[in-house]
Amino acid sequence: MPRAGTRPTSRDVARAAGVSQAAVSLVLGGKWRGRVSEATAQRVREAARTLGYRPNLAARNLRLGRTRTVLLVVPALTTEFFAGVYTGAARVAAQHGFGVVLYSSPVGIGPARDPFASAEAALDGVIASSMAAEALTAIRGDQLPLVMLDSDPEGSVGAATVNLDIADGVRQITDHLLGLGHRRFLHLAADVASWTFEMRARELSARLRAVPGTSLRTARAPISIRGAEAAAEAALSLTPDRATAVVCDDDQLAAGVYKAARRLGLRVPEELSVTGIDDLALATAIDPELTTVRLDAELFGERGMGALLAVLEGRDPPASAISVELIVRGSTARVPG
């Protein structure tokens, strides 16, 4: 037992558990599987808990040559979605003794500048959310482990890719609107050159091509309510054969469609059904409340951090996409008679 008033050491834990200090290090470092038995690992954990032992992370980091710091790169700091991604990633990181530094690329999805004198010296790894692969070249260097979120798994430069099942989300939206009798569609697409938005457009187009009698018009807008309002007003002013349903890449775009519809004298949903993607707080703040696809941003961040930890430990992270859910609210209705 440690002397009164002194902090317990790994040697104290080893003595209490009846094992070597090397075994204590393996168990408390999470690298014991295949090296010590489950019973031994349990004994070590119980001894550490009884003694109130906490590993000296600073000393361990020096031995391992690691900083236990991860960089999360996002296109913007001002969005609710990326705040959720950070919250989820930071939660899992803290459980494993890691810290997360949040960094917004100054030019969105364009090339991100290295915010450190040497990222490779300052970081253990990078999680990049919704970024083009080439945008991370400066930060990644040649050796830094990288996990890509919301990115093309086929063309990723990362050691792992974690995605939400956005394609299924688009299918759920499309099937919902088709089931309400809609055949004339407007896609209000985010004017952002990234894989996730290109994939949404492809999935929507493919699904509608499979249904006879449907038409699809596309208008592009920056991800802002004002930009969406202008683009939607121009597209919905076109008659005849005006769209009866608008599929938006983002909830903010959908809010812009509401404003455009009001200016044009169109009622949502009686004359125009509107859908979004994200399920931001905005979705229930507008009237009628928005039918949208719920994306669990915090779970997304958790899975991203989990994938990076797996890469750092030499394990293969799970490859399955995260499920999404269509939340049907008041902005969609049967096609006007």
> CA-CA distance, 41 to 32, in Å (whole number)?
7
Residue 140 structure tokens:
């990644």
Coil, helix or strand for 271?
coil
CB burial readout 197-218, b (16+ within 10 A) else e: bebbbebbbebbeeeeebebbe
> CA-CA distance, 137 to 120, in Å (whole number)?
12
- Domains plus CATH for the chain? 10-55 (1.10.260), 67-162+297-316 (3.40.50.2300), 166-294 (3.40.50.2300)
Residues in the chain: 337
> CA-CA distance, 37 to 28, in Å (whole number)?
13
Q: What is the pLDDT along the chain (337 residues), one digit of tens a residue?
A: 555 556 778 788 888 999 888 888 778 776 667 778 888 888 988 988 888 876 654 444 444 447 788 989 888 777 899 999 999 999 999 998 899 988 876 555 555 555 555 455 578 888 988 765 555 655 554 457 889 899 888 866 778 899 999 999 999 999 999 999 999 999 999 998 888 999 999 999 999 999 999 999 999 999 999 999 999 999 999 878 899 999 999 999 999 999 999 999 999 999 999 999 999 999 999 999 999 999 999 999 999 999 999 888 888 888 889 999 999 999 999 998 7
Report strand pairing: 99-104 vs 125-129. Answer: unpaired
CB atoms under 10 Å from CB of 263, counted, come to 13
* pTM of the shown model: 0.76
> CA-CA distance, 129 to 301, in Å (whole number)?
9
> CA-CA distance, 336 to 80, in Å (whole number)?
34
Cβ neighbours of residue 134 closer than 8 Å, sequence gap 6 or more: 111, 157
DSSP letter at 77 equals S
> CA-CA distance, 232 to 243, in Å (whole number)?
11
Q: Break the chain down into helix, strand, coil percent, rounded to 5.
A: 40, 20, 40
